[in-house]
Homo-oligomer: A and B are copies of this chain.
């Protein structure tokens, strides 16, 4: 018999906000000679390897803003794009301006009426605070890998959320669009909800959103999750 869930912890990039679409639109507007879709894909594909360098200890603790900037500089060099420092800084902060999916704001408000809702993101605290303020998202608490000095999927992150709220792992549910994240949370004893984000990687990629029986819940979007969790 599972204890009742008290805290919903949300993955953010892809689950709550549309990184691909936001970046593609900003890059297309800059007219850099690379398609926004390709640029977004390249930027994001540098992300897991960069974090893995931190997770393996090759790099000391480095926040995502700085990892994003390292990857951005490589992309610009590879494509021979000339951008001055101010423009690079501004473009790098597009991750602070990512827009929510259409169901995000209303879905989170319904979930917040019944649960404590927090982020559990590899994004740094400043990034997540800017994003929430900009998008109008109201979290009960913003938590980040930066607090735990461990990136997901390290268990210190999921168990860190439970510790902060003084709850058992079974009283926390991770909400995410990514199976590896959910599997790692489940391995810590947390509950799991998979969210379908068919367009996370842009219109050109057929993202697999099939139901996986390994997870406790499977929802079309955050409104569907609120329905399944009995929120008004």
Say whether, besides A65-B166, A147-B147, A166-B65, A132 and B140 are in contact (CB < 8 Å).
yes
Chain A: interface size category? 20 to 34
Please tell me which one of the listed residues B124, B128, B164 contacts residue A125 in the complex, with CB atoms under 8 A apart: B164
Say whether, besides A65-B166, A138-B138, A142-B142, A118 and B126 are in contact (CB < 8 Å).
no
- Mark each residue of chain A from 116 to 146: 1 if its CB lies under 8 Å from any CB of chain B, else 0: 1010000011101110110000101111001
- Residue contact A140 to B147, C-beta cutoff 8 Å: no
Q: Does A47 contact B (CB under 8 A)?
A: no
Interface of A is mostly: helix
From residue 29 to 74 of chain A, which have CB atoms closer than 8 A to chain B? 65
Please tell me which one of the listed residues B116, B126, B147 contacts residue A165 in the complex, with CB atoms under 8 A apart: B126
From residue 152 to 192 of chain A, which have CB atoms closer than 8 A to chain B? 164-166
- Residue contact A116 to B140, C-beta cutoff 8 Å: no
- Residue contact A129 to B125, C-beta cutoff 8 Å: no
- Residue contact A116 to B141, C-beta cutoff 8 Å: no
What chain B residues lie within 8 Å of A126 (beta carbons)? 141, 164-166
Min CB distance, A86 to chain B, in Å?
A: 15
What chain B residues lie within 8 Å of A147 (beta carbons)? 125, 147
Min CB distance, A160 to chain B, in Å?
A: 10
Given contact pairs A126-B166, A128-B141, a sample of 16 additional A-B residue pairs in the complex whose CB atoms are under 8 Å apart: A65-B166, A116-B130, A118-B129, A124-B164, A125-B143, A125-B164, A126-B141, A126-B164, A126-B165, A129-B140, A129-B141, A132-B140, A141-B142, A142-B142, A146-B164, A147-B147
Chain A residues in the interface with B (C-beta under 8 A): 65, 116, 118, 124-126, 128-130, 132-133, 138, 140-143, 146-147, 164-166
